[in-house]
């Protein structure tokens, strides 16, 4: 309904505007010098070109698997099978999805533009307009490629190959390995307030052409792929509504057809000791290539964001923390599989914490490798001995914090319907929901504190390495506490449940028991523990609400 939509716009504007104001206040530092602006013009388009290539790759991959439109099941089974042209039936949903995505791109691009003008200088309106135009064109280009791949029924392997080559080319251009990436020229549109290059206008032309051609041929979508996508997307939305992140991840992998390898990458020998470790290693060695590639990309994003934090853009710590959290969700897959099958775990003659805590070393090893990739990406931007030393100090805190946040998210699971929190007012429930949502990523973001402290120490003429070491030690200690919570989680949960049951028996159960005792005592008044006495009312003598009990009359047949 339009009222619900207006209310959602109101909430988005309220919270989004507040977030923008807060982030804008965190962006500190003076405007860059002419040499700094020249460096931005040299390196910035290549890195933004990676974003354009990523949008194209994701669009091709989504379209080859029946996306990006997710219809309702009746629409797929009845409307698309009816004599109505499929193009006419799909044009409306495609335009609505495109309109919403472009609107989000315009808003996010405007926010990025008003943040960029604080460091790069120039006309405020020009930066906002170019940021909105660039991101809207990028989103439209990605959706247009998705419509093309879906309508032409592009093979999934071909879509992955084309998108992967384009993305690899863009990344190689960003690290100065291979020059001449086409997406780098298109990304110069975002820097028009500093230097106008007419070639960058081709991004808008390509986006419009891809959208027009894609929407025109959207009727060729595969019905089987559309029905499969509809079923999984419906389950995914329901799981997201229940705040069940683990189910969302599993359904997302099914949607992307991300299946384990039938053969491991490397054969692993088992010597009979540490069965939990070896079982987890065997699972990791069967990870598909897309999952490994996703870990590498997320690690690189975290490293580049941390490099930006070291250069002075402290708000990028949030981006790095979210990237570490996403990587941690993949790293703790063996532990997540253990929680997905509680019946198997309960069949073991071992405590729950004993089994779960033995999955943590493998997650730590995987995250350390992610941290090494992130450190390499951060150092390669501007290699130096100081950057390498600082990156080495931050590997363990970042890795352990990312894994800790993911572990907390998986073990918390979805809120229980029978939880006593459901009896509280909506305001309290909303605060609890917000805390459950924010707490795991916040824990992962703690891994960026060494870099943040090092940057603050460098600005105050202190030793950044000492600050990073102190902050890193505190983060590692906190992750050890999280590991202890994993080990004792079941014990703590049972104790808390028993306390709640005792509190319930002490309140509601005492009234009935004391009332029964009073009734069995021949009409004696209830004790101080009864329900009515505790509420200040008269003592109950029976279950008739305080009235005297009915006297038993002995009949003639019952008399001796």
- Distance between CA atoms of 357 and 484, rounded to whole angstroms? 8
CB-CB neighbours of 193 under 10 Å: 21
In a domain? residue 519: no
The answer to whether position 524 is within a domain reads: no
Phi, psi at 444, each rounded to 5°: -65, -35
**Residue 58 is assigned to a structural domain of this protein:** yes
As a whole number of angstroms, the distance between CA 155 and CA 273 comes to 45
Q: Is the pLDDT of residue 551 over 70?
A: no
Q: Looking at 243, 259, 275, which one is the last position of a domain? A: 259
**pLDDT at res. 2:** 63
Buried b (16+ CB within 10 A) or exposed e, 533-542: beeeeebbbe
Predicted local confidence at residue 44, as pLDDT: 86
The per-residue b/e assignment along 498-510, b for 16 or more CB within 10 angstroms, e otherwise, is: eeeeeeeeeeeeb
Residue 280 lies in a domain: no
Same domain, 50 and 86: yes
pLDDT score at 445: 93
Q: What would the two tokens of residue 542 be?
A: 């029976």
Residue 369 banded pLDDT, cuts 50, 70, 90? very high
- Token code pair at residue 37: 């602006």
Q: How many domains does the chain have?
A: 3
DSSP conformation class of 315: T
**pLDDT value of residue 138:** 94
Are the C-beta atoms of 321 and 445 separated by less than 8 Å? yes
Most confidently modeled of 82-96, 106-120, 320-334, 481-495?
320-334
Q: Is residue 559 part of a domain?
A: no
Domain that holds residue 8: 1-30
Shared domain check, 299 and 243: no
Average the pLDDT over each of 111-120, 474-483, 540-549 and give the range with the smallest value: 540-549
Q: What percent of the chain has pLDDT over 90?
A: 26
Distance, CA of 251 to CA of 416 (rounded, Å): 20
- 327 and 474 co-located in one domain: yes
Q: Is 359 helix (H, G, I), strand (E, B) or coil?
A: helix
* Residues 103 and 180 both lie in one domain: yes
Residue 2 CA, distance from chain mean position: 29
What is the reported pLDDT for 362? Answer: 93
What are the pLDDT digits (tens) for 183-195? 988 889 999 988 8
SS (H, E, C) 102-148: HHHHHHHHHHHHHHHHHHHCCCHHHHHHHHHHHHHHHHHHHHHHHHH
Q: How many CB atoms lie within 10 A of CB 526?
A: 25
Q: Name the pLDDT band for 360 (thresholds 50, 70, 90).
A: very high
Residue appearing with tokens 């509280």 = 424
In angstroms, the CA 82 to CA 89 distance is: 10
Over 90: is that where the pLDDT of 560 sits? no
* DSSP assigned state of 271: -
Is the per-residue pLDDT at 315 higher than 60? Answer: yes
419 pLDDT band (50/70/90 cuts)?
low
pLDDT at 33 over 70: yes
- The answer to whether residue 553 scores a pLDDT higher than 70 is no
Q: How far apart are CA 51 and CA 300, in angstroms?
A: 13
Instruction: Say yes or no to pLDDT of 517 above 80.
Output: no
- Distance (Å, whole) CA 139 – CA 59: 9
Q: From the centroid of its chain, how far is CA 290? A: 18
Rounded distance between C-alpha atoms, residue 28 and residue 19, angstroms: 16
Dist CA 362 CA 331 (whole Å): 8
Co-location of 331 and 408 in the same domain = yes
142 or 272: whose pLDDT is higher? 142
Closest-CA residue to 280 (of 294, 295, 270)? 270
pLDDT at 555 over 70: no
How confident is the model at residue 345, as a pLDDT? 76
pLDDT at 504: 65
Sign of the alpha-carbon torsion through 434, 439, 444, 450: positive
450: left (phi over 0), alpha (psi -120 to 50) or beta: alpha
C-alpha 253/C-alpha 273 separation (Å) is 32
At 16 the pLDDT is: 65
Q: Tell me, yes or no, whether 471 lies in a domain.
A: yes
Let me know how long the chain is. 560
Q: DSSP 3-state helix, strand, coil percentages of the chain (rounded to 5)?
A: 75, 0, 25
Nearest CA among 536, 267, 305 for reference residue 402? 305
Structure confidence at residue 206 as a pLDDT band (50, 70, 90): very high
Residue 523 sits at φ, ψ, to 5 deg, of 90, 15
The segment with the largest mean pLDDT, out of 57-66, 118-127, 412-421, is: 57-66
367 by Cβ neighbours in 10 Å (0-12 / 13-18 / 19+) ranks as buried
The DSSP 8-state label assigned to residue 261 in this structure reads -
Using a 10 angstrom Cβ sphere, with 0-12 exposed, 13-18 middle and 19 or more buried, the burial of residue 3 is exposed
Q: What is the reported pLDDT for 422?
A: 59
- Rounded alpha-carbon distances, angstroms, from residue 57 to 27, 188, 221, 272, 303: 31, 19, 19, 44, 22
Average pLDDT of 233-262? 78
248 and 297, same domain (yes or no): no
Distance CA 179, CA 164 (A): 17
| Confidence bin at 547 (pLDDT 50/70/90) | very low
Task: Tell me: do 167 and 210 sit in the same domain.
Answer: yes
Q: Please state the rounded mean pLDDT for residues 443-448.
A: 93
How high is the pLDDT of residue 527? 42
Rounded to whole angstroms, the Cα distance separating 267 from 265 reads 7
The reply to whether 40 and 24 lie within a common domain is no
Please, what is the Cα angle at 113 between 109 and 118, to 5 degrees? 155
DSSP letter at 384 equals: -
Q: How far is CA 351 from CA 208, 276, 333, 355, in A?
A: 59, 14, 20, 7
- Across the range 425-450, mean pLDDT stands at 81
Residues 2 and 65 grouped into a single domain: no
| pTM for the predicted model, two decimal places | 0.73
Residue 326 lies in a domain: yes
Which residue among 483, 502, 521 closes a domain? 502
The residue among 35 and 50 whose pLDDT is bigger is 50
Span 405-425, average pLDDT: 73
Do 155 and 64 form a contact (C-beta atoms < 8 A)? Answer: yes
Which pair of structure tokens corresponds to residue 182?
């086409």
Looking at residues 49-78, what average pLDDT do you find? 85
| Residue that terminates a domain, selected from 502, 533, 552 | 502
pLDDT at residue 20 in the model: 64
Query: Which pLDDT score, from 0 to 100, does residue 225 have?
Result: 79
Average pLDDT over residues 278-283: 89
Q: Is the peptide bond before 320 cis (omega within 30 degrees of 0)?
A: no
Same domain flag for 70 and 18: no
Question: Do 247 and 323 sit in the same domain of this protein?
Answer: no
Q: What is the mean pLDDT of the chain?
A: 80
Is 180 a member of any domain? yes
Q: Does the pLDDT at position 228 exceed 60?
A: yes
Question: Is 80 exceeded by the pLDDT of residue 175?
Answer: no
Same domain, 49 and 142: yes
Give the model's confidence band at 78: pLDDT under 50 very low, under 70 low, under 90 confident, else very high.
confident
């Amino acid at each position: 309904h339009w009222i619900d939509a207006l209310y959602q716009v109101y909430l988005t504007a309220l919270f989004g505007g507040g977030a923008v104001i807060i982030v804008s206040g965190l962006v500190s530092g003076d405007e860059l010098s002419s040499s700094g602006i020249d460096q931005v013009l040299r390196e910035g388009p290549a890195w933004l070109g990676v974003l354009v290539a990523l949008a194209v790759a994701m669009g091709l991959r989504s379209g080859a698997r029946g996306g990006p439109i997710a219809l309702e099941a009746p629409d797929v089974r009845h409307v698309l099978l009816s004599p109505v042209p499929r193009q006419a039936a799909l044009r409306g949903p495609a335009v609505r999805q495109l309109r919403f995505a472009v609107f989000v791109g315009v808003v996010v691009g405007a926010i990025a533009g008003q943040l960029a003008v604080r460091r790069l200088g120039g006309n405020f309106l020009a930066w906002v307009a170019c940021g909105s135009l660039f991101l809207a064109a990028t989103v439209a280009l990605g959706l247009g490629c998705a419509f093309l791949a879906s309508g032409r029924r592009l093979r999934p392997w071909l879509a992955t190959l084309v998108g992967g080559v384009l993305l690899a080319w863009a990344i190689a251009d960003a690290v100065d390995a291979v020059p001449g990436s086409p997406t780098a020229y298109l990304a110069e549109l975002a820097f028009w307030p500093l230097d106008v290059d007419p070639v960058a206008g081709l991004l808008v032309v390509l986006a419009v052409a891809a959208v027009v051609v894609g929407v025109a041929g959207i009727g060729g979508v595969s019905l089987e792929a559309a029905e499969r996508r509809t079923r999984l997307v419906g389950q995914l939305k329901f799981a997201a509504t229940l705040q069940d992140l683990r189910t969302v991840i599993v359904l997302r992998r099914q949607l992307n057809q991300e299946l384990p390898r039938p053969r491991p990458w490397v054969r692993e020998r088992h010597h009979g000791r540490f069965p939990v470790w070896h079982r987890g290693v065997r699972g990791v060695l069967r990870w598909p290539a897309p999952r490994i590639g996703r870990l590498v990309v997320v690690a690189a994003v975290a490293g580049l964001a941390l490099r930006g934090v070291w250069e002075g853009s402290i708000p990028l710590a949030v981006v790095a923390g979210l990237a570490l959290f996403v990587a941690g969700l993949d790293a703790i897959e063996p532990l997540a599989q253990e929680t997905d099958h509680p019946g198997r775990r309960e069949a073991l003659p071992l405590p729950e914490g004993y089994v779960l805590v033995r999955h943590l070393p493998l997650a730590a090893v995987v995250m350390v490798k992610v941290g090494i990739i992130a450190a390499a990406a951060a150092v390669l931007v501007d290699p130096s001995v100081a950057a390498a030393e600082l990156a080495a100090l931050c590997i363990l805190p970042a890795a352990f914090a990312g894994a800790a946040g993911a572990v907390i998210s998986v073990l918390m699971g979805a809120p229980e319907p029978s939880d006593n929190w459901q009896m509280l007012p909506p305001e309290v429930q909303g605060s609890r929901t917000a805390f459950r949502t924010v707490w795991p990523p916040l824990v992962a973001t703690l891994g960026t504190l060494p870099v943040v402290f090092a940057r603050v120490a460098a600005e105050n003429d202190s030793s950044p390495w000492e600050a990073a070491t102190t902050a890193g030690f505190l983060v590692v200690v906190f992750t050890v506490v999280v590991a202890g919570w994993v080990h004792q989680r079941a014990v703590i949960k049972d104790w808390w449940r028993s306390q709640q049951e005792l509190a319930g028996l002490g309140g509601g159960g005492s009234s009935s028991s004391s009332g029964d005792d009073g009734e069995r005592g021949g009409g004696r008044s209830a004790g101080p523990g009864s329900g009515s006495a505790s509420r200040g009312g008269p003592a109950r003598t029976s279950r008739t609400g305080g009235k005297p009990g009915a006297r038993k009359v002995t009949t003639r047949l019952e008399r001796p």
